Amino acid sequence: MPKIFLTGATGYIGGAVLTRLLERPFDITILVRSAAKASLFNETFGKKHSLKAVVGSYSDLKLLRELAGEADVVFACADADDLAAAKAILSGMRDKYSETGVAPTLIHTSGTGVLGDDADGMHASPSIYSDMNIEQLETLSPDQPHRNVDLVLVEADSQGYVKTYIILPSTIYGFASGPLVESGLQNWRSQQIPRLVDVSLQRGQGGMVGKGKNWWGNVHIDDVAELYLAILDLLSKASPPPDFAHGRAGFYFAENGEHTLYSVGEAISKVLSGMGKGSSTPTTFSDKEVRLYFPGGTSLGSNSRCRAERGYKVGWRPSRKTQDMLSSVRGEVDASLSR
């Protein structure tokens, strides 16, 4: 029975992946910050699904190394920018390789924020990245978000002691579901669209950065989770598709359509105006609102355009499209209001 170690089990992505792993005959170890949640995981899913929850965080580098060193496959679904944690996981996988002579697998969560520019919502970008065009990806600056960690993983793969597969989700939407959500163990909402909804409710009007002319890809949470499982299933294939790559070429975008920020702001505005709040046309966030609502910066105003060609070539088949994303806005508004 393959041994799996997963981080981010209580998160939006990690929980969706774990929900699917629990349906398979795996020996699963997860890292959970809360002792109470770890106990609930063990009591609810431990014996039935061969799952063990260990209390710890990405700050516990020695523990990360130990748990990664015991696994055949590691799913890293927590902080995409924690370089120290990524190196600790890789150290454990190097230990595993030294003991067995077989390179273990790391399936790491990055994000298409690595493609972001400084458009501030004022213009579209003609640059569309393909995960089949490695030379194009290698033009990205090491200073781009997530890129420093991604490059360390690629270098580790080149040394032969680990096989790395890097998944880069775009704007994820939809409500996660399943036994982890029902047990109160998993975050069931995304970040980008709910954040825009919350801000729009506070200001009483749908909004956008600049003119909202920037473009992002989008993908449903269930389709994202299926990409992780598609990669996992291909690991055991005697003859996987020729484009099933790892390391330097092992980048997998997760998208199934793209949208402008204006279109999201408009969808929110239409829902709110139907409730008697503001007009059906989004307005630009003022400088004061940007400072108040987005203290970490307005990356939502950037362009992040990509095509998930590699995933399609290896058998991933996402089913939801941009219209599904726009239609999901009403549910997000209802969810925010019900809190």
Q: Could you count the other beta carbons within 10 Å of the beta carbon of residue 81?
A: 14
Query: pLDDT grade, residue 323 (50/70/90)?
Result: very high
Domain spans of the chain? 3-338
Cβ neighbours of residue 87 under 8 Å, at least 6 residues apart? 152
**Under CATH, what is the fold of the domain 3-338?**
Rossmann fold (3.40.50)
What is the pLDDT at residue 1?
A: 78
The token pair at 86 is 């990524």
Q: What average pLDDT does this structure show over 2-12?
A: 97
pLDDT single digits (tens) 235-292: 999 999 999 999 999 999 999 999 999 999 999 999 999 999 999 999 999 999 999 9
Q: What average pLDDT does this structure show over 210-230?
A: 98
What is the pLDDT at residue 83?
A: 98
What is the pLDDT at residue 298?
A: 80
C-alpha span between 17 and 239 (Å, rounded): 24
Query: pLDDT grade, residue 47 (50/70/90)?
Result: confident
Q: Which amino acid is at 7?
A: T
The token pair at 78 is 């927590």
C-alpha span between 307 and 203 (Å, rounded): 34
Among residues 125, 150, 128, 141, the alpha carbon closest in space to that of 302 is found at: 125
Q: What mean pLDDT, rounded, does the chain reach?
A: 97
Q: What average pLDDT does this structure show over 38-43?
A: 97
Query: pLDDT grade, residue 296 (50/70/90)?
Result: confident
| Residue whose tokens read 């105006």 | 273
| Residue whose tokens read 């609502």 | 293
The token pair at 206 is 């749908």
What is the pLDDT at residue 256?
A: 98
What is the pLDDT at residue 75?
A: 98
pLDDT single digits (tens) 148-190: 999 999 999 999 999 999 999 999 999 999 999 999 999 999 9
Q: What average pLDDT does this structure show over 325-336?
A: 98
What is the pLDDT at residue 208?
A: 96
